[in-house]
Amino acid sequence: MAIRRGSSCAVLALLALASVAAVSADVFFQEKFEDGWESRWVKSEWKKDENMAGEWNHTSGKWHGDAEDKGIQTSEDYRFYAISAEYPEFSNKDKTLVLQFTVKHEQKLDCGGGYVKLLGGDVDQKKFGGDTPYSIMFGPDICGYSTKKVHTILTKDGKNHLIKKDVPCETDQLSHVYTLIIRPDATYSILIDNEEKQTGSIYEHWDILPPKEIKDPEAKKPEDWDDKEYIPDPEDVKPEGYDDIPKEVTDPDAKKPEDWDDEEDGEWTAPTIPNPEYKGPWKQKKIKNPNYQGKWKAPMIANPDFKDDPYIYAFNSLKYIGIELWQVKSGTLFDNILITDDAALAKTFAEETWAKHKEAEKAAFDAAEKKKEEEVNSLAVLMFAWLIAAWVSAKV
């Protein structure tokens, strides 16, 4: 009896532990674009009156690992896209914030974004557009050869702050997972396909606050600061008579030609040749300066303009996720959006969604490319046959 009670206690303890683990992760928003997604998302009317609002296509795209696993894809070229979903308002004060989604550019994107935004306060979702203030913007942005990066913009007091680090994004036509983690110790990480690509301090990688320390503007290089790395070698002295060595000497082998006529040709002088003894102007050897103090640097002091904001990483209100894009060429497909406070959970979510299908998606993409190539080839064969036929019929 005692044993039984003991084991049931252990089970209870385990259950309690499991439920603690379960409640410790908060999922603020999750969207896999399964049936019913349209009830959660509001299509904005932004750009509609100009006929410039693009339609979203609920699809798994041209290539995919699972035809049933759909997302939303931009479907018209030269259009603006704006769509958003609301979730219960929260603040990431004192907790980790993880924003993650999958994006696939099926169109071989040459200029356009694949980013999402988190918005707070009250947003009229029907009017959500390019000017709607947001808290965070995150995701890949591609334009020509110069821009191929992961955008990470944090908005503080109405000002957008771009990350100062260049984080390259993926540029192929396959699905990739983008993850932004912002921690309450004011550090962040950017992951692509569950691999960390950049990490660091929000203080240092954004110019949200002025720097904590600056070079002392009052400091001056001391007069006697020795910043010469090399000095002339005092041991090396110019040999006596060095400067008297001529650059050229008369050629000792030269002889006055037999037929030289002093009267007609003038007085004969031997030609000169470079003096093998001549070594150029004398240069004193250089040696390492034993008193070298290094390059002078102003000492760092606390920046009087710096006022710490311990909540530099935090947003009071996060309430909507929005996708707002301009697309020259459509075909960008979003899926598997997750907003949580648990990076491990996000990792698992990416493994169970994107990673599970990535091999099959790659195979489907390769097959589609091969088919396209074959079509081009058979068209070329057809054209060639037609040309031959035309040529033959012209001959007869």
Ligand X SMILES: *[C@@H]1O[C@H](CO)[C@@H](O)[C@H](O)[C@H]1NC(C)=O
Task: Tell me the binding residues.
Answer: 115, 117, 134, 141, 324
- Phi/psi for 351 (5° steps) reads -65, -40
Interaction between residue 61 and ligand X (CB under 6 A): yes
- Phi/psi for 169 (5° steps) reads -105, 175
DSSP class of 219 = -
Q: Kindly report each contact of residues 295-299 with a partner whose C-beta sits within 8 Å and lies 24 or more positions away, as own/partner.
A: 295/227, 296/221, 296/222, 296/225, 296/227, 297/215, 298/215, 298/216, 298/217, 298/219, 299/215, 299/216, 299/219
**Helix, strand counts (H, E) of the chain:** 6, 22
In the list 57, 91, 198, 317, the residue contacting ligand X (rule: CB under 6 A) is 57
Nearer to ligand X, 61 or 112 (CB): 61
CB of 323 to ligand X, least distance (A): 17
Return the structure tokens found at 355. 């990673």
CB of 322 to ligand X, least distance (A): 22
Nearer to ligand X, 59 or 189 (CB): 59
CB of 84 to ligand X, least distance (A): 21
Stretch that binds ligand X, among 24-32, 58-66, 238-246, 306-314 (CB under 6 A): 58-66
CB atoms within 10 A of CB 55: 12
Interaction between residue 327 and ligand X (CB under 6 A): no
Interaction between residue 120 and ligand X (CB under 6 A): no
In the list 59, 199, 289, 317, the residue contacting ligand X (rule: CB under 6 A) is 59
Interaction between residue 62 and ligand X (CB under 6 A): yes
Between residue 75 and residue 104, which ones bind ligand X under the rule CB under 6 A? 75
CB of 59 to ligand X, least distance (A): 4
What are the Cα distances from residue 221, in Å, to 18, 21, 288, 293?
63, 58, 21, 12
Number of residues that bind ligand X (CB under 6 A): 5
Instruction: Write out the residues near ligand X by the rule CB under 6 A.
Output: 57, 59, 61-62, 75
